[in-house]
Amino acid sequence: MHKLFAQQISKARLPSGDVDLDVLESLVVKAYEEAERDRRRNERAIAMMIEEVDRFNRGLEKLVGQRTAELEAREAELEEQNLRFDAAVNNMSQGLLMFDSKARLVICNRRYLEIYGLSPAHARPGTPLLTMLRHRAALGTFSGAPEDYIAFLRSSLAQGKNVTRVMELPDGRIIAVLNHPMADGGWVATHEDITERRRAERQIAHMARHDALTDLPNRVLLSERLSEALAAGVHRNEMLAVLYLDLDHFKGVNDTLGHSVGDELLKAIAERLRSCVNETDTVARIGGDEFAIIQTKIESPSESAMLARLICDTIKAPYDLNGHVMIADTSIGIAIAPNDGADVNGLLKNADMALYGAKADGRGTYRFFEAEMDSRVKVRRSMELALRKALDVGEFELNYQPILDLKQDCVTCCEALLRWRHPDLGVITPNEFIPVAEEIGLIVPLGEWVVRQACFDATSWPEDIRVAVNLSPSQLINQSLLPVVINALAFSGLSARRLELEITEAVLLQNTDATIATLHRLRKLGMRISMDDFGTGYSSLSYLRSFPFDKIKIDRCFINGLPDDEDSLAIVRAVTGLAASLRMTTTAEGVETQQQLEQVRLLGCTEIQGFVFSRPLPAVDIARFLRPDRPIARIA
């Protein structure tokens, strides 16, 4: 019998020994109810335990998932970092190596292998540096003893020093090596190909001392070499010379043919100058159209004179540049050391002053430095400064020389002649200041002023009298000439038919097509075009064929010989006959005597200009001279 049931019977037994069934039933029911309650409590407890275990398991699974995802992400990140590191290391412009404290390779990138032509097998991790260097020595990309280099390297690195080395490989490449120590006793090394950098540095150094256009030494290198040559000359008791060159009328080449042709001319001249000197001499381009030569080891100034003559003759030979045939000329100043200067600046200064002297003597020649040149140069530079402000302050004025028509016995034209009235020096003639104005670039604005003033003055003359204005080569090739002339006529109100423009043959020496085209445009507007100083140029007759000039002015050098010089007679007769056949007027310039007047009349000249009739007159006087009511003085 179940023990619990026995206990329940015992509790239900009456004193009489009988069992109270109602009590027993109550006890049994109560026991079952308690058991049921316990069962239910147990079930709930078990369910709660199961739920808690399940919740724990789910949390654990989630945590494991998270940790797994994090580990996978970290692994992916590390892998990506490794890939980036590998890409960075293997795409460096430098070769990269890392060694441990025992000089064994830890890292080697692709660039290092490329620099020295190695295979990956020769640069595996763990490879000793000694093995790598011996292999490179066998390939010819390492010089010296590898053992000695490693000993020096490790000793220096142990002291915390960076170790650098620059080496040139057999193929000409230049490699810079930098070794940087690490705290653990190892080190990092970079190998960089600096060939292009060194080439660029050499190129920059070359450019700093050489002219970009001609590749000649520039002023900087000239000064350095001259300083060295002077020191050597003192040591050896030798003379040297500095020749300072300036091309004559080079600006006209740039203005007429353009800077590209001008540059080609400068390069051609540089080559010719190189051919004139010895290997120990220096040819330099100072700037623009200026050159200098250091002539060393000379025994006398006559050697410099010989070199100057050779240069002049060499430069004068014709040039054919891009289809343009042209000629050039040069002026040369010479200073001899030690007599003319014992230092760089003094010698160059004196050579420059000698150059001024050569220009003053007519260009196309050479001059040695003389002590008195200093004062002349100062005068010249003073004139330059005064000339620059003379136009602004109104120091220029025009005189006019009448031109007489021999058939009509009347004045038909007056030539405008420029004068400079300096406040201290008085009247300065064009022969003195025009060359200076050309050199300093003032000739074009000065010429424009002459055109405007001449047109204005002529408006007060009789309607049948023209004004003649000389055009310089620089004016004619200047693009502003046409608008300047048109504006001068419009502003003054002068008719274009009353303006006569005179040019010399020098105008037509270069860029003939463009010059002729400009002359045609001017003539089409109604102006007359005259050739001045006819017969003094190189090819006068060819120019007469290229353009229909209205007038030929026979140069005074031919008139001066009349009436006795047979050659002058023949030339004047030929020119007047040629002009007559071409229906051109001829003006005899510089007629100063009655005999010359009679002779040019007999030879067929149609006009005369000279002192025999009238000197140049100021604007006020010429206006009175040309008054209609004033009779013209007869000249037989």
User: What is the per-residue pLDDT across 521-572, written as a single tens digit (0 to 9) for each?
Assistant: 999 999 999 988 776 554 456 666 667 789 989 888 888 888 778 888 888 8
106 lies in the same domain as 187: yes
- Model confidence at 473: pLDDT above 90: no
User: What is the SS3 string spanning 87-102?
Assistant: HHHHCCCEEEEEECCC
| Assigned domain for 602 exists | no
- Model confidence at 442: pLDDT above 90: no
355 lies in the same domain as 420: no
| Assigned domain for 523 exists | yes
DSSP assignment string, 281-304 = SEEEEEETTEEEEEEEEESSHHHH
Q: Kindly state the percentage of the chain with pLDDT values over 70.
A: 91
362 lies in the same domain as 221: yes
* Maximum Cα–Cα distance across the chain: 203
Q: How far is Cα 354 from Cα 371, in angstroms, rounded to an integer?
A: 10
pLDDT (average), residues 84-89: 62
- The structure's pTM equals 0.56
Of the CA atoms within 13 Å of residue 147, those in its CB half-sphere come to 0
Could you report the per-residue pLDDT of 385-428, keeping only the tens digit for each?
888 889 889 999 999 999 999 998 899 999 999 999 998 888 88
Q: How far is Cα 416 from Cα 186, in angstroms, rounded to an integer?
A: 92
Please give the DSSP secondary-structure letter assigned to residue 123.
G
Residue 122 has which token pair? 């020769």
Q: Quick one: pLDDT at residue 221?
A: 93
pLDDT (average), residues 459-481: 88
Q: How far is Cα 155 from Cα 149, in angstroms, rounded to an integer?
A: 10
Q: Quick one: pLDDT at residue 64?
A: 78
- Enumerate the β-bridge partners of residue 399: 417, 618
Give the mean pLDDT of the chain: 85
79 lies in the same domain as 122: no
- Model confidence at 136: pLDDT above 70: yes
pLDDT grade, residue 210 (50/70/90)?
Answer: very high
Q: Quick one: pLDDT at residue 547?
A: 74
Question: H or E element: which one contains 346?
Answer: helix 344-360
Could you report the per-residue pLDDT of 166-183, keeping only the tens digit for each?
988 888 899 999 999 998
Cβ contact 245:179 at 8 Å: no
Q: Quick one: pLDDT at residue 632?
A: 55
Q: What CATH number does the domain containing 529 carry?
A: 3.20.20.450
- Model confidence at 620: pLDDT above 80: yes
367 lies in the same domain as 395: no
CA distances in angstroms from 51 to 43, 46, 47, 61, 63, listed in the order given: 12, 8, 6, 15, 18
Task: Please choose, from the candidates 317, 250, 313, 245, the residue with its C-alpha nearest in 3D space to the C-alpha of residue 285.
Answer: 245
| Assigned domain for 588 exists | no
pLDDT grade, residue 27 (50/70/90)?
Answer: confident
63 lies in the same domain as 114: no
Site of tokens 């690490």: 182
CA distances in angstroms from 430 to 2, 184, 363, listed in the order given: 157, 88, 17
339 lies in the same domain as 397: no
Q: How wide is the angle at C-alpha 579 spanned by C-alphas 575 and 585, nearest 5°?
A: 115
Last residue of a domain, one of 322, 337, 371: 371
Could you report the per-residue pLDDT of 237-260, keeping only the tens digit for each?
889 999 999 988 787 777 667 788
Q: Quick one: pLDDT at residue 70?
A: 78
Site of tokens 């004196």: 350
30 lies in the same domain as 126: no
pLDDT grade, residue 636 (50/70/90)?
Answer: very low
338 lies in the same domain as 249: yes
- Model confidence at 2: pLDDT above 70: no
Total tally of structural domains belonging to the chain: 4
* Edge-to-edge strands, sheet with 105-108: 105-108, 94-99, 187-193, 174-181, 163-168
Sign for the pseudo-dihedral over CA of 58, 64, 67, 70? negative
- Model confidence at 443: pLDDT above 90: no
Q: Quick one: pLDDT at residue 107?
A: 86
Q: Quick one: pLDDT at residue 85?
A: 57
250 lies in the same domain as 282: yes
Q: Quick one: pLDDT at residue 538?
A: 46
217 lies in the same domain as 364: yes
Q: Quick one: pLDDT at residue 567?
A: 82
Of the CA atoms within 13 Å of residue 319, those in its CB half-sphere come to 25
Could you report the per-residue pLDDT of 303-352, keeping only the tens digit for each?
999 999 999 999 988 888 877 778 888 999 999 988 888 889 989 999 99
Q: How far is Cα 272 from Cα 266, in angstroms, rounded to an integer?
A: 10
Last residue of a domain, one of 308, 339, 371: 371
| Assigned domain for 592 exists | no
Q: Quick one: pLDDT at residue 73?
A: 74
Task: Please choose, from the candidates 296, 275, 272, 276, the residue with its C-alpha nearest in 3D space to the C-alpha of residue 222.
Answer: 296
| Assigned domain for 34 exists | yes
CB neighbour class for 538 (10 Å; exposed up to 12, middle 13-18, buried from 19): exposed
Q: Quick one: pLDDT at residue 273?
A: 94
- Model confidence at 616: pLDDT above 90: yes
73 lies in the same domain as 98: no
Q: Per mean pLDDT, which range of 7-11, 293-297, 564-568 is the poorest?
A: 7-11
Q: What CATH number does the domain containing 249 carry?
A: 3.30.70.270
Cβ contact 452:491 at 8 Å: yes
Q: What CATH number does the domain containing 119 carry?
A: 3.30.450.20
Last residue of a domain, one of 313, 342, 371: 371
| Assigned domain for 347 exists | yes
Q: Quick one: pLDDT at residue 42?
A: 79
Could you report the per-residue pLDDT of 576-600, keeping only the tens digit for each?
888 888 889 999 999 999 999 999 8
User: Which residues span the domain enclosing 183?
Assistant: 94-198
| Assigned domain for 634 exists | no
Comparing 540 with 295, the larger pLDDT belongs to: 295
Residue 328 has which token pair? 């050039």
- Model confidence at 297: pLDDT above 70: yes
Cβ contact 462:628 at 8 Å: yes
Q: How far is Cα 565 from Cα 546, in angstroms, rounded to an integer?
A: 31
Cβ contact 29:37 at 8 Å: no
| Assigned domain for 26 exists | yes
Pairing relation of β-strands 617-618 and 396-405?
antiparallel
